[in-house]
Amino acid sequence: DIQMTQSPSFVSASVGDRVNITCRASQGISSWLAWFQQKPGEAPKLLIYAASTLQSGVPSRFSGSGSGTDFTLTISSLQPEDFATYYCQQGNTLFTFGPGTKVEIK
């Protein structure tokens, strides 16, 4: 099975900051990676698929990059509504989610 790791587990940041979250797969997954945002008490929301394709309606401050085993989610200028937990998910072989990264207010 493909395992996913994320770093860091927690990010403390301020509004306007640039935030990078890294996701690593235990084996190559080409570009079959998605990113989700989840706020407390809500269902996850798809932000990015195919490693870098922005889902319709998602603000352009979100971007994704990477291929193979290493991927990055970047929030270029953190907004108040972006404080949430972010999950990566591989879709190359079945599905596996990462453990999540919580973005907190500094």
Partner 1 sequence: QITLKESGPTLVKPTQTLTLTCTFSGFSLSTSDSGVGVGWIRQPPGKALEWLGNIYWDDDKRYSSSLKRRLTITKDTSKNQVVLTMTNMDPVDTATYYCAHSLYYYDSRGNYRDALDIWGQGTMVTVSS
What tokens does 60 get? 């352009």
Q: Considering beta carbons, is residue 13 or 58 the nearer one to partner 1?
A: 58
Q: Which of 13, 22, 24, 46 binds partner 1 (CB under 8 A)?
A: 46
Distances from the Cα of 71 to the Cα of 19, 81, 106, angstroms = 14, 23, 25
Rounded to 5 degrees, φ, ψ at 72 are -135, 135
Q: Which of 30, 63, 69, 72 binds partner 1 (CB under 8 A)?
A: 30
What mask of x and - would describe binding to partner 1 in positions 56 to 85, judged by CB under 8 A?
------------------------------
Q: Considering beta carbons, is residue 49 or 71 the nearer one to partner 1?
A: 49
- Could you tell me which stretch among 10-18, 20-28, 42-50, 70-78 binds partner 1 (CB under 8 A)? 42-50
Produce one character per residue of 71-102: b if its CB has 16 or more CB atoms within 10 Å, e if not.
Answer: bbbebeebeeebbbbbbbbbbeeeebebebbe
Query: CB–CB of 103/47 below 8 Å?
Result: no
- Using CB under 8 A, list all residues that contact partner 1: 1, 30-32, 34, 36, 38, 43-46, 49-50, 53, 55, 87, 89, 91-92, 94-100
